[in-house]
Amino acid sequence: MDSFNDVLDAVKLYCKDYLVDATYNLYIEGLQPMSFEDSNHVVLSVRNDFICKIVRDRYIPLLKEAFKAVLGFEVNLDLVVPALPATPANDPDKVATLPSGRYDFTFENFIQGSSNRFAYAAAQAVAANPSGAYNPLFIYGNSGLGKTHLLNAIQIEIRRNHPDFNIVYVNCEKFTSDLITAIRMGNTEEFRQKYRKADLLLVDDIQFIAGKESTQEEFFHTFNNLHTEGKQIVLACDRPAKEIKTLDDRLRTRFEWGLTADIQPPDFETRVAIIKRKAELLNMDLPDEVVEYIANNLKNNIRQLEGAVKKLNAYYMLEGISPVIGVAQNAIRDILSETQPVPITVEKIISEVARTYSVSAADIRSTKRNAAVAAARRTAVYVIREITGMSMEEIGKEFGGRDHSTIVYSMKVMNRDIQTDTRLRETVDDIIKNVRS
């Protein structure tokens, strides 16, 4: 044979006899020659890390067998993934997609419909004119509807047009964690410099600020500082600010200073467009009846729509199964099973109560009796009983083996106090919502 290319072509043909077409097309056909050194050291180029891992795990023996059949001797085989070119995210005329079919969260990639058009337009207005359009912009809606996509699109667009901007994008948990670390390390000034010097502050899942007094106090001053200096603030939440029961009134008022925009579940036409877009990114040809079947059966979550298409693509690529209605039914069944809420655990409840009361989860489970820990422990007992329905004995075991009467007493105190203490009732409501979200 005249060249390494000819050898590799022959090797591919050898492999093709042992693989179904879909597998061959995805994992073997795209292999490219890199080097053939010292007579028996072969280096091949693979398109991406995902394919490289599959080829390395499953098909190296077949490839070595093929090289021996073609060359008459064994080779050592290495795979490499070439460095990617500069990301298209920096080029406004290109849309960045990844081999997995995932796309950058840009405005160009956001599928509009009647359910999200207002929020989309508001986000675009903020990106085009930071601090000059709506400040703050407060976007709310259930999980999986595109809030995070819009926050990312805003920061990408502003970074593109204002490369000198100091952009800070965090979720509420990160803000709280940074504050706790700063207090523990004694460097709160460094924390404030990070957040109060931002030209654009984007905070996702702001609902988790509920009930956390120190975090709310710090965020209040951060908000005031940025707003006074004309810096843009964008917040995303799973509910309107007025429904966050334990949110300080002064923060609730400020969240409503600018523009509030909601995102609703996508209508049928938008769901169809999302499915087709995802299939296009995966270079997958989905029959219209399959698209409509998915759109008719997954109605409330964009991630579920995209997950169904990815599942169908995986069936085709890995097993050669074409995307027909029967396969779509299985894919949807799998997606619904995979995306059911993770069973709410006692650990998750205790962790949320600990964050709300600014104590540690270990303290709640301990025998400490100071007022703050005792109040947190009673609340944890109440919420565990409310959410899980566990028996008093079972709950007692979760708190170091406390006896039945101790848990009964905690429940009696909580049931009494919730009737008269509006603040406590709202705190419990917010904890339950956060645990279930």
Q: Where are the domains of the chain?
A: 4-80, 117-262, 268-324, 346-436
268-324 belongs to which CATH class? mainly alpha
CATH superfamily label, 4-80: DnaA, N-terminal domain (3.30.300.180)
Distances from the Cα of 312 to the Cαs of 172, 283, 337, in angstroms? 35, 12, 15
Distance CA 286, CA 282 (A): 10
Residue 48 Cα distances to 2, 21, 94, 343, 413, angstroms: 28, 20, 20, 35, 59
Whether residue 375 contacts residue 368, with contact meaning beta carbons closer than 8 Å, is answered with: no
Residue 329: pLDDT band by 50, 70, 90 thresholds?
A: confident
Q: Mean pLDDT in the chain?
A: 86
CATH of domain 346-436: 1.10.1750.10
Dump pLDDT digits (tens) for 190-202. Answer: 999 999 999 999 9
The pLDDT, as a whole number, for residue 103 is: 54
pLDDT at residue 203, as a whole number: 96
Higher pLDDT, 124 or 313: 124
Question: Does the model's pTM come out above 0.75?
Answer: no
Higher confidence at residue 337 or residue 160? 160
pLDDT band at residue 94 under the 50/70/90 scheme = very low
pLDDT digit string (tens) for 113-164?
Answer: 889 999 999 999 999 999 988 999 999 998 889 999 999 999 999 999 999 9
pLDDT score recorded for residue 256: 92
The CATH fold of domain 117-262: Rossmann fold (3.40.50)
* Helix runs in 100-165, H state only: 117-128, 147-161
Per mean pLDDT, which range of 76-85, 343-352, 354-363, 400-409 is the poorest?
76-85
Dihedral of alpha carbons 375, 364, 173, 414, sign: negative
